[in-house]
Amino acid sequence: MKPSFKILTIILLSILFNLSVLNGQDKPVKQDKKVNYGKAPDEIFPYDKFVKPYKYHFLIPLQFNGAGRELKAPSDLREVRIGFLGPLSGSIMVPQGKQMLQGATLAMEEANKNGGYKGLPYKLMIHNDVGAWGAAANEVVKMDDEKVWAFVGSIDDIVSHVALRAALKLEIFMVCTGDPDPTFTETNIPWTLRVISDDRQGIYSLINQIYVKDGHSRVAIIRTGARYGRVAFKIFSENATRVGHPIIIEERFADGETTFKTQLERIMVTNPDAILVWGNAKESALILQQARAIGLKQPVYGSDRMVSPEFLKIAGNLADGIVTTCQYNPDSDNPKYKAFVVSYHKKFGQDPDVFAAHAYDGMNLLIAAINKVGLNRVLIRDILTERKTFQGFPGVTGNIVLDGSWNEIRDIFIAKVNKGKFEFTPAPPLDMKKHMGSSTGTY
């Protein structure tokens, strides 16, 4: 009887511990019924029109019920370390990685001017990722050795997924500021949140723009063969089919490729009425150039990575009329955003891009959390994932809006090139009523 009694005692103590851990935390809150998961429009929300699924995932925040909240901060600290993970060398995303680093750096410097953490300065521990499997995990281990309290990063989806799993094992919170992969927060790892809208938001808006507003039905896609393109194509293709217009052809290219003649000639044979390009800025601009050179005059749409000085420089006059999306409005009159742009340009001699702006917001969010709960990794995780405290946090890119998987789902913008400059307008909601009246497709 004694062993059984001992086992029962351990189980009971475990249950009481878990209940005490949850006390004072955000209880699992179901997502607002008015908002579908991933903010999917009602018209293309899967299954809902025909049958209710047995279970919806990612609507209830996953909690961390482990130990660690009782740990006290070291008494001999001279600085408060926060990690940074981003592509700084050995990657085609180095320019974006440096912008992300600059945004995070500016936020930290401003925090230190305001007194840091109880008089202690914040210090950024900088780590490079090179997009290789396993490398990101090694960098997170180094951050653990450096005693960082949390970290921000990264851009490449492979890097982010690996880093997140290392963060789980080491219990270091990760604020994602640049990876738009929709599956990132679907890992159900309660040690991260994302402050940049994922690719679903852009794709839903492009579906509306291409099929509903502009009236196209035969769309060809040419996209990067990397995970960034693979995941986006799956989402776009599924939703295009739901509105009655399956993709007519999909062509791929490798990151860093410069000649696209073969892929574009295959697209030409299918006679599409619009083309979607999904890739980084340089390749997208070269594809546009070569498409026009062989006589493809169809309207061209693209991923948000087109919103880049590099794209406009390479594409030149051909860029006019290009339509894509952006996670925020770079022409915003928000005083907070305008002040950020001035400070950023003064320090770095260039305008901030989407990665710089979101890294600035992510770092400010993380610092606000540390200032609120102190130096304890689990408590930092708790306050950031509570949702109630930081839901609507005023960033320079807009107020942060998190769903049940701690994913950013705020409204985004349509970006269209006019006279060599992107113009931004709020992305309108999807309205299929008029479209379905004239469409021959089904959904």
276, 233 contact by CB (below 8 A): no
In this predicted structure, what is the pLDDT of residue 289? 98
* pLDDT value at residue 116: 98
Strand partners, 324: 415
CA dihedral sign, ordered 43, 47, 52, 58: negative
Taking the whole predicted model, whether its pTM rises above 0.85 is answered as yes
Q: Are the C-beta atoms of residues 289 and 314 closer than 8 Å to each other?
A: yes
Q: Residue 205 carries which side chain, given as an amino acid letter?
A: S
pLDDT band at 202 (very low <50, low <70, confident <90, very high): very high
Q: Where are the domains of the chain?
A: 80-197+333-410, 200-326+414-438
Q: Does domain 200-326+414-438 have CATH number 3.40.50.2300?
A: yes
pLDDT value at position 57? 80
* Cβ contact 362:384 at 8 Å: no
Read off the pLDDT of residues 48-65 as tens digits, 9 standing for 90 and up.
666 777 777 887 888 899
Q: Mean pLDDT over residues 168-176, rounded?
A: 97
**With contact defined as beta carbons under 8 Å apart, do 422 and 354 qualify?**
no
pLDDT at 441 over 60: no
CB 326 within 8 A of CB 411: no
Q: Looking up tokens 């309207």, which residue turns up?
A: 299
Q: Phi and psi dihedrals of 220, rounded to 5?
A: -105, 145
Structure tokens belonging to residue 168: 């789980």
pLDDT at 26 over 50: no
3-state SS, one letter per residue, for 282-341 = HHHHHHHHHHHHCCCCCCEEECHHHCCHHHHHHHHHHHCCCEEEECCCCCCCCHHHHHHH
Alpha-carbon distance values, 306 to 105, 237, 329 (Å) = 25, 20, 14
**21-30, 231-240, 370-379, range with the lowest pLDDT:** 21-30
Tell me the angle at which helices 354-373 and 335-348 cross, rounded to the nearest 10 degrees. 110
Is a pLDDT exceeding 90 seen at residue 2? no
- pLDDT confidence of 30, banded at 50, 70, 90? very low
Does domain 80-197+333-410 fall into CATH 3.40.50.2300? yes
Give the N- to C-terminal CA distance of the chain in Å, as an integer.
Answer: 63
Q: What confidence score (pLDDT) does residue 59 get?
A: 79
Residues near 320 by beta carbon (within 8 Å), at least 6 away in sequence = 417, 418, 419, 420
Q: What is the pLDDT of residues 181-191, one digit of tens each?
A: 999 999 989 99
Those residues with Cβ within 8 angstroms of residue 217's Cβ, 6 or more apart along the chain or in another chain? 211, 244, 245, 273, 439, 441
Q: Token pair for residue 324?
A: 């894509």
Bridge-based pairing of strands 122-128 and 80-86 is parallel
Question: Is the predicted pLDDT of residue 111 greater than 90, yes or no?
Answer: yes
Q: How much is the pLDDT for 13? A: 43
The answer to whether the 80-197+333-410 and 200-326+414-438 domains have the same CATH topology is yes
DSSP state of 120: B
Model confidence pLDDT, tens digit, residues 413-429: 999 999 999 999 999 88
Tell me which amino acid residue 66 is.
G
Given this model, what pLDDT does residue 29 score?
43
pLDDT at 329 over 70: yes
pLDDT score, position 19? 42
Q: Quick one: CA dihedral 127, 130, 131, 135, positive or negative? A: negative
With a cut of 60, say whether residue 248 has pLDDT above it: yes
- The mean pLDDT value of the chain amounts to 89
% of the chain residues with pLDDT over 70: 89
Q: Which of 303, 249, 264 is nearest to 280 (CA)?
A: 303
| Interval 337-386: pLDDT, tens | 999 999 999 999 999 999 999 999 999 999 999 999 999 999 999 999 98
Name which of 330, 334, 353, 396 is nearest 102 in CA terms. 353
